[in-house]
Amino acid sequence: MNVIKKILSTACFLLLLQTNSFAQILNIEKERQGIKVTDSTVWRGNFIFGFDLTRQQNTILQFDNDDYLLLMTPKHAYIWIGHINLIKSEGENVISEGYFHHRINFWRKRKLSAEVFAQYQYNETRGLLNRGLVGITPRLSLKKSESLDINVGTGIMYEWEEWKLDESFTLTYFLKSTNYINFHAKFNKNTELMFITYYQALFDRFFHPRIIGDANFRAKLSKHVSFNMKFVPYYDAQPVISIEKWNYEITSGIGIQF
């Protein structure tokens, strides 16, 4: 019981740390799927920046940023990811969205381990002012090899959302089921694909979910430089306000790893 209290307290503390940030949903796997099970402490990082400024009839500014940090100790793994996408036209936001996500994987080398996570998100384009959540889930490793890793998780999370579109404002608080499956495939030493799908739903409306995918393709150009492409589909069967149920995002850029 004390262990459960400690884990939930950690999740709440992580959420408090990020309340002054901006955020959405994410691929929590990325680098940790490519690391062998060892007793060593491992640091990994991946930072991708994109910037465009166009002046024709209008001035258009675009900024895109994806960050990933991983610390693996002999027992646990600590993960932080962030994403920001901003497009301005004549000083007005056309697209403004992002997320920050923190996750701890306890007893990471076991076939069945435990995770706690906290996230903050915004998406002004869809009318999402703020979304925050904390949760806990067991993590089951279905397959782990040099070329393919597959993991699943199913747990519970507490989520709050603020939506505003035109004159419509809604604030909600929910306890939800959260589930995911992910795989990491290495086609050769220079190319790999990482994909994760989330299925989140109220317990009494389990078959009316929010489904989010995050696919990342990476091709190494050199030891520290790679080409990256990302596809993020999003579907909400019962959106809080009257918006489209389906949307997606595709980004690409150059990554620097260390």
pLDDT digits (tens, 9 = 90+) for 22-33: 233 445 555 455
pLDDT in tens, the chain (258 residues): 444 444 333 333 333 333 232 233 445 555 455 455 556 788 888 788 887 777 666 778 888 888 888 999 989 999 998 988 888 887 677 788 898 999 999 998 899 999 999 999 998 888 889 999 999 999 999 988 888 999 999 999 999 999 987 777 889 999 999 999 998 999 998 999 998 899 999 999 999 999 989 898 999 998 889 999 999 898 999 888 778 889 888 989 988 776
How is the chain split into domains, by residue range? 2-257
Q: Does domain 2-257 have CATH number 2.40.160.40?
A: yes
Compute φ and ψ for 108, nearest 5 degrees: -60, -25
What 92-98 contacts at long range (C-beta under 8 Å, 24+ apart), as own/partner pairs, is 93/124, 93/125, 94/125, 95/125, 96/122, 96/123, 96/124, 96/125, 97/24, 97/122, 97/123, 97/124, 97/125, 97/126, 97/128, 98/22, 98/23, 98/24, 98/122, 98/123
Considering only CA atoms, which of 86, 91, 85 is closest in space to residue 55? 91
49: which residues sit within 8 A by CB, 6+ positions away?
Answer: 64, 65, 253
13: which residues sit within 8 A by CB, 6+ positions away?
Answer: none
**How many Å separate Cα 60 from the centre of its chain?**
27
Considering only CA atoms, which of 216, 182, 224 is closest in space to residue 199? 182
Tokens of residue 208, six digits: 């009316």
